[in-house]
Amino acid sequence: MRNSLLLPVLFFSFLAVGQESEIPMVLHLKIQAEIDPRTNRYSELGLERAREIEADYIILELDTYGGVLTDADDIRTRILDLDIPIYAFINRDAASAGALISIACDSIYMTSGSSIGAATVVVQDGSAAPDKYQSYMRSIMRSTAEAKGRNPTMAEAMVDEDIELDSIATEGKVLTLSVSEAIKNGFCEAEVKNIDDIMMRSGVENYEVEVFELGSSEKIISLFLNPFVSGILIMIIIGGIYFELQTPGVGFPILASVIAILLYFIPNYLNGLAANWEIVMFVLGIVLIVIEVFVIPGFGVAGVLGLVLTLGSLMLVMLNNDFFDFSFVGGDQIIISVATVSAGLLMATVLFFVGGTKMADSRFFKRIALQETQDADEGFTSKPIAESMVGKKGKSYTVLRPSGKIEIEGVVYDAYTRGNYIGQNVDVEVVSDEGTSLKVQEAT
């Protein structure tokens, strides 16, 4: 009887211990740089990781002065749609776009000396953006605050300098809250030192933390976004296309160019920089250059337009513009983009003049190209006819403009003139039989 009662007690005891041993999982994300497409992708991958490991909490550590509004809005939207508790941990600054992201979180915690606010939208020179952008920022700040139960007017005052809120927001200055002001006005739960303080205030003592970092593939993608690496890729793109057009059929230059194109566009596309229209612009530019070289030889409108589209697309891909709207693109970004493409073009030009001659002497080129001279005294000849045809007469089998066919003694041969026109069935005389065609003139 005692044994029969003991078994259920032991079973439920083990079950209770098993339940208590389940340690909550906390995913720690860090945004400690400008809000841009790279930060946007980092946050997207981080939230995917949180779902993958079934995280119980997410700590988003912020120390940023803001960045691109469109990317900040993407991050904000993901956070609002999240079904996992997410806490903003402001470790010094959450300005502008950083403030918007913080307000979207379920709770906000700040370290000593931190601040939140100053969310006025600015353009590349630091001045305030047009009112349509300010209006949009005001609306999403207000709606985000409402969604999280925070004072919407105070959130709007972080954007609009005309809103007055007693002593904390005077006219002519946008609202920025210190730690004590944020706590007093419901924009911060508490002042903390670290994640342990945050979890303790949430009633969680034992937990496991995973710091989210980009994987090897994402780090490689970030590597190819480096302006120096982008310049080298641009050099290979331009150089490969040039050498392939100069020596059609070799294959290696165009293969190198295609690989460089993929390595240039794919990372930018994944990071939200390369838009579909920019890729189409690049492809159209290449098509126009090919048409200029092979269909309408010369250097006309198609060639110039092709170069403009190709180089222009390479520059635009590096800039987070909204179809030629550069309002939120920093001046330094434009300078870096232009400098990178210019450096790539310069390196490709040097490659044309210096590398071209060395390439002909390279071991690889000697394997794919004919290097020996096939001299006539060694038995090599381009004449398909053994006996001399010079002086023989016949009739033009077709019209010669200046090439065509002639008939001599019942046999039809390929022929050409010095450039003049000869009609059909006209008496002709062979003046040279070098090469694969006979050179003829009208018989006198």
Please provide the DSSP assignment of 31-85 as one string.
E-S-BSHHHHHHHHHHHHHHHHTT-SEEEEEEEE--B-HHHHHHHHHHHHT--S-
Contacts 24+ apart (CB under 8 A), 299-308: none
Q: Model-level pTM greater than 0.85?
A: no
Opening angle at CA 112, ends 106 and 117, nearest 5: 55
> How many whole angstroms separate alpha carbon 71 and alpha carbon 96?
12
Domain 381-442 = CATH 2.40.50.140: yes
Q: Find out whether 50 and 27 touch, Cβ atoms under 8 Å.
A: yes
The tens place of each residue's pLDDT in the chain, 444 residues long, gives 445 545 554 555 544 444 444 799 999 999 998 888 888 889 999 999 999 999 999 999 999 998 888 889 999 999 999 999 999 999 999 999 999 999 999 999 999 999 999 888 877 666 777 888 888 899 999 999 999 999 999 999 999 888 877 767 666 688 999 999 999 999 999 999 999 999 999 899 899 999 999 877 777 777 777 778 888 998 889 888 877 776 666 577 888 889 999 989 988 887 777 888 999 999 999 898 888 777 775 557 888 898 899 999 999 888 877 777 776 666 667 887 888 888 888 888 887 676 555 555 556 555 555 555 555 555 555 556 667 888 899 999 988 878 888 999 888 888 888 878 888 899 999 998 877 788 999 987
Pairing of strands 403-408, 190-191: unpaired
Q: Which of 182, 33, 163 is nearest to 115 (CA)?
A: 182
Contacts 24+ apart (CB under 8 A), 151-158: 151/185, 151/186, 151/187, 154/185, 154/187, 155/103, 158/99, 158/116, 158/117, 158/118, 158/119, 158/120
Q: Which of 117, 123, 75, 120 is nearest to 99 (CA)?
A: 117
CATH of 20-213, one of 3.90.226.10, 1.10.1040.10, 3.30.70.100, 3.30.2290.10: 3.90.226.10
261-291 in b/e form (b: 16+ CB < 10 A) is: bebbbebbeebbbbbeebbebbeebbebbbe
218, burial (CB in 10 Å: exposed 0-12, middle 13-18, buried 19+): middle
Residue 148 token pair = 């999280």
Map out the domains of the chain as residue ranges.
20-213, 217-368, 381-442
